[in-house]
Structure 1
Amino acid sequence: MDSSHADQIRSGTSASPSRGLGRRQFLAFAAKATGGFLAADLAAARAGRAQAPAATTRRFTDWGWPLPYEQISSKSKQWLQGKGWWPINAGWIVVWSSEEMIGTILQTEKLLEKRGIETAWHTFVAAGFSNEAFIPGRIQLANTGALGVLALLSNKVPVRALAVHSPGLTHAATVPLDSPLKSLADLKDAKVLKRPAVVGTTTGSTNHFGFIAAAHYLGLKENQDYTLRSSPPGDLAAGPKGIDVFTIWEPHVSNSTEILKATRLLEPLDPYYLYSGYCYTRREIEDNAPDVVQAMTDAFIEAILWGKANPD
């Protein structure tokens, strides 16, 4: 007898299935024990689920903005009131593809008011007019093209850009229907008109910036190859007499050339100047009421979502 067999006898175990529990009895016992463990685990799991807190259901607008709207603090409202900036005065440019849509949605859907910001809205025809109100603080939220923002920075006006919009918006030079000009390069040395061309633009706006960029690239010199005459873009789209070249942005370009049929396209200004528009506010608000600046930014983004969800 080997030692392992002797140990089994002393311990009461058997080396053979024929001794002690039978195979069927053993399997039945094991199944019963395993079932008991599984039942206990299942009961514990059910109890755990019953004790777990219910999941919170988040609500959203039809266009995807989470609700409820976050409100600005009473402290920020009091600071704005102390500055005389309550309600907030906000401005946007009319007849300006994309930006006009955002301004209209912000105003009509009251996206600032829904965040606790009482707002008085104003409209302008170009950045130069908007800046005349923004620089002295008569408006605190504005939308213009790049030149409007650069003018503010150049004059050290405290400004903070919140968002970029309408990137790559078409700007163009148009001419009267009977103009002999074929391109802006024809202005060089007055070789076609035999005199400096009168270029209509809107001082301080992106059509002005676009033409200056084109003139620099083409080597055109003011008073030698051209002179500038400032006029609102809507007037320039009508093709007034006494102006040889009109510089405007969309939708003024399409309105002038396709609807009014007052001018024809000379060439786009896009190759000379990559346009972008900006939504911006005063930096003092960011420094003293940052939650207001966040609410402005949120409202801008929500306006885009609303526009995508409501294309008509």
Structure 2
Amino acid sequence: MTDQKNESTRRTSSPSAVHAAHATTSARPSRRDALILGAGVAAGWTGLVGAANAQTSKDAPKEVRLDYAYYSPTSLVLRRFGWLEEDLAKDGIGVRWVLSAGSNRALEYLNAGSIDIGSTAGLAALLARANGNPIRAPYIFSRPEWTALVVRGDSGIRSLADLKGKKVAATKGTDPYLFLLRALHTAGLKRADIEHVGLQHADGRAALEQGRVDAWAGLDPLMAASELDAGSRLLYRNVGFNTYGFLNVREDFLARHPREVQRVILAYERARQWTIAHPSDAAKILSEEAKVSLPVALLQVKLRTDFSQPRPSDEHVKALQAAAPILTAEQLVRPGVDLNRAIAELVDTRFAAGLVKA
């Protein structure tokens, strides 16, 4: 994976819903339109940015390194319009963007110190934190239904029980992989009951469509593309098993540069509010960046992603507490690890309290 410089749910996937969303698509946003969120929102955002800028530490970093990901549409919006660059440039701080192909990649980059801020699924972040990755999550970029278990349209597999003994592709260390394990447990199966094929998300999709695996734990927008373009079928869906999208920060960076982290969160808030106001235009950006069709991008942005709860709260803590048992049941964490403590250390419910509406 190479570093790249910046280049300034609703729960249905029916064809009719996708086409209805497509029909409402507006023209590509102009630079001027992109900068206007409405007088009230813009004024509030500008005021908060000004306050954060006024408190910028004297030892500010020369550069803030963060990822963008196709499973995080707001990161694509933020990168496209350069709002963070515009803000940080006032203090001579640069911005470097790195593409994350999945939560596992973002967590690897964070653990290695090659990025400061990275976007992942909540349960994947907890797994990493429990295993020693020193991260905290002060912001939630979305509540998506971004994963499900996928089979080919002509597959004879009709239930989770039918997966026993079958080849299933999934990317370890990601929400789709953990979703797979939780789904198997609902049918009385474990990881040992299937033949897990470890592939990165795009390779998993290809393996499914080429018949090299029987099922795939998908990730949008690849999953939506497989449905609409290749006729793949969602075998098992469970919104509750899709953990939130966490924006994670390395603890040492958060401790040394809290004002810069505030400014990143404020920029994400601007992108989130713009995405809510312009979902069709956000889908166009996703379509262009991820090189998927517009109907695929609309399916992900309009029908499978909820952008309404950005501030970490007890809701996110409880979601991780409900999901955590799979980590011990499948021996994914060291014996004796206190997962409740790891959750408390990961989910930062106070940092963004003055910046983001609950």
Where on the TM-score scale, by shorter chain, does this alignment land: which range?
0.5 to 0.7
Taking a change above 3 Å as real, the CA distance of residues 269 and 198 of structure 1, as seen in their structure-2 partners, is farther
Number of residue pairs aligned between Structure 1 and Structure 2: 233
Amino acid at match of 1:103: S
Q: Which whole-Å CA distance do the structure 2 matches of 1:75 and 1:302 have between them?
A: 19
Change (3 A) 1:87 1:204: same
Alpha-carbon offset, residue 303 of structure 1: 0.8
What TM-score, normalized by structure 2, do the two folds share? Answer: 0.60
2:110 is aligned with 1:134: yes
Q: Does 1:242 align with 2:216?
A: no
**Residue matched to 2:84:** 112
| Alpha-carbon separation, structure 1, partners of 2:103 and 2:139 | 16
- Aligned counterparts of 2:113 and 2:58: Cα–Cα separation in 1: 17
Question: In the TM superposition, what are the counterparts of 1:281-292 in structure 2 within 5 Å?
Answer: 281-292=249-260
**In structure 1, how many angstroms separate the alpha carbons of the residues matched to 2:180 and 2:156?**
19
- Residue 193 of structure 1 corresponds to none
SS of corresponding position for 2:57: helix
- Which of 59, 78, 82 aligns to 1:78? It is 59
Amino acid at match of 1:134: L
- Within the alignment, does 1:256 sit opposite 2:245 as a pair? no
Query: Which residue number corresponds to residue 64 of structure 2?
Result: 88
Q: Distance in 1 between matches of 2:141 and 2:67?
A: 15
- In the TM superposition, 1:1-312 aligns within 5 A as 62-63=36-37, 64-66=41-43, 67=46, 69-70=49-50, 72=53, 76=57, 78-80=59-61, 86-94=62-70, 96=71, 99=72, 101-116=73-88, 117-187=93-163, 190=164, 196-223=165-192, 225-238=193-206, 239-261=209-231, 263-270=232-239, 273-311=241-279, 312=281
Q: Deviations over 1:184-210 (max 9, x none)?
A: 1223xx4xxxxx111111111110010
- Deviation (angstroms), 1:79: 4.7
Cα displacement (A) at 1:155: 2.4
Q: Percent identity?
A: 24
The alpha-carbon deviation at position 148 of structure 1 amounts to: 2.9
Is 1:257–1:264's contact at 8 Å kept on the other side of the alignment? Answer: yes
Cα drift, residue 77 of structure 1 = 5.8
Deviation at 1:306, TM superposition (A): 2.1
Please, what is the CA RMSD of the aligned residues?
A: 2.2
Point out where structure 1 has 5 or more consecutive residues left out of the alignment: 1-60, 81-85, 191-195
Question: Deviations along 1:17-37, whole A, 9 cap, x unmatched?
Answer: xxxxxxxxxxxxxxxxxxxxx
Question: Residue 6 of structure 2 corresponds to which residue in structure 1?
Answer: none
Q: 1:310 to 1:257 in 2, by over 3 A?
A: closer
The Cα of 1:74 is off from its aligned counterpart by 8.7
Question: Is the Cα–Cα contact under 8 Å of residues 65 and 97 in structure 2 kept in the other structure?
Answer: yes
Residue 251 of structure 1, CA deviation? 2.6
Bigger strand fraction: 1
- The one-letter amino acid of 2:140's match is V
Amino acid at match of 1:275: T
| TM-score (normalised: structure 1) | 0.68
Indicate the SS of the match to 1:162: strand
Query: Hey, what's the Cα distance between the residues in 2 that align with 1:178 and 1:310?
Result: 37
Structure with the largest fraction of helix: 2
AA at the equivalent of 1:120: R
In the TM superposition, residue 73 of structure 1 has moved relative to its aligned partner by 6.2
SS in 1 for 2:143: coil
TM-superposed deviation, 1:257? 1.8
When Rg is computed on C-alpha atoms for both structures, the one with the higher figure is: 1
- How many Å separate the matches in 2 of 1:109 and 1:76? 26
